[in-house]
């Protein structure tokens, strides 16, 4: 084989490798969803369970703790951090024990009378609405007027608020300075729900990174620390550890294979060709 023919074959091979690499880059979809490691669902119940594992509210919850400062400073940081997270599109729900009505989800609004027991004993007619509107007039004269006013036009009978009160747990974390704390008063608590799926490590890592950045911009004392736990935090931690271990093992394997090839061929050119 002539030198020119060998050069042509090498160039053609490089073109084919480059074309295949471009094709893989355009077509390959890499997912960080840990549900792919689970058995494929075969029934409707299994599909529902798998969907809830990844997309259900419980899988998207992050429990956040703020510690390392006096309670008053932690409470101020908690309020500031909650405000920042509510403005971040990566988070769907943020609560820290503050008394708020703007955090009530609009998703309940169309179904409020189906979920509430109000119409089990009342008819949705003119007299009923008149009585409810009279109550709202009295509510507007009370100290809670600022909290209730945004909801009156959308929900004059306050059914969503009644639902939330009915679902309220009989016990909750301790409150200091109007926000949640642990029993010892050393850690301020927040509950955060992400928009990304709980077992999608990439979206959860992005949410945690945003959480850390907002905390750094919100903290009131230099010694404050952020603690994050929950399914999403475990998912991101597993991805980080798995990726670092895979990179280390891959680097060791690559060096070992190159060393074996060089030992076998004793020619750098042959090793380069074998790698290609």
Q: What is the 3-state secondary structure (H, E, C) of the chain?
A: CCHHHHHHHHHHHHHHHHHHHHHHHHHCCCCCEHHHHCCCCCCHHHHHHHHHHHHCCHHHEEEEEEECCCHHHHHHHHHHHHHHHHCCCCEEEEECCCCCCCCCCHHHHHHHHHHCCHHHHCCCCHHHHHHHHHHHHHHHCCCCHHHHHHHHCCCCCCHHHHHHHHHCCCCCCEEECCEEECCCCCCEEEEEEECCCCCEHHHHHHHHHHHHHHHHHHCCCCCCEEEEECHHHHHHHHHHHHHHHHHHHHHHHHHHHHHHHHHHHCCHHHHHHHHC
Residue 214 has pLDDT above 90, yes or no: yes
For all residues of the chain together, what is the average pLDDT?
84
Is the pTM for the entire model greater than 0.75? no
What are the tens digits of pLDDT across the range 14-71? 899 889 989 988 887 766 666 677 788 888 888 888 777 767 777 888 999 999 999 9
């Amino acid at each position: 084989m002539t030198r020119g023919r060998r050069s042509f074959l090498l160039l053609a091979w490089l073109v084919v490798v480059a074309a295949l690499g471009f094709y893989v880059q355009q077509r390959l979809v890499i997912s960080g969803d840990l549900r792919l490691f689970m058995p494929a669902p075969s029934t409707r119940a299994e599909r529902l369970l798998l969907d809830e594992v990844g997309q259900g509210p419980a899988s998207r919850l992050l429990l956040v703790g703020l510690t390392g400062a006096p309670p008053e400073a932690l409470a101020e940081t908690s309020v500031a951090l909650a405000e920042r997270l509510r403005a971040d599109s990566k988070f769907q729900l943020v609560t820290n024990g503050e008394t708020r009505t703007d955090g009530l989800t609009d998703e309940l609004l169309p179904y409020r009378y189906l979920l509430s027991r109000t119409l089990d004993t009342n008819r949705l007619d003119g007299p009923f609405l008149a009585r409810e509107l009279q109550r709202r007039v009295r509510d507007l004269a009370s100290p809670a007027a600022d909290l209730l006013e945004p909801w009156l036009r959308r929900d004059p009978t306050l059914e969503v608020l009644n639902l939330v009160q009915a679902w309220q747990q009989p016990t909750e974390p301790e409150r200091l300075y109007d926000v949640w704390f642990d029993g010892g008063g050393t850690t301020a608590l927040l509950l955060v729900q992400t928009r990304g799926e709980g077992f999608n490590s990439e979206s959860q890592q992005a949410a945690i990174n945003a959480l850390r950045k907002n905390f750094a911009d919100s903290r009131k004392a230099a010694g404050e620390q952020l603690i994050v736990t929950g399914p999403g935090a475990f998912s991101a931690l597993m991805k980080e550890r798995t990726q670092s271990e895979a990179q280390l093992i891959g680097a060791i394997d690559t060096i070992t294979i190159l060393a074996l090839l060089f030992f076998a061929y004793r020619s750098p050119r042959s090793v380069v060709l074998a790698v290609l």
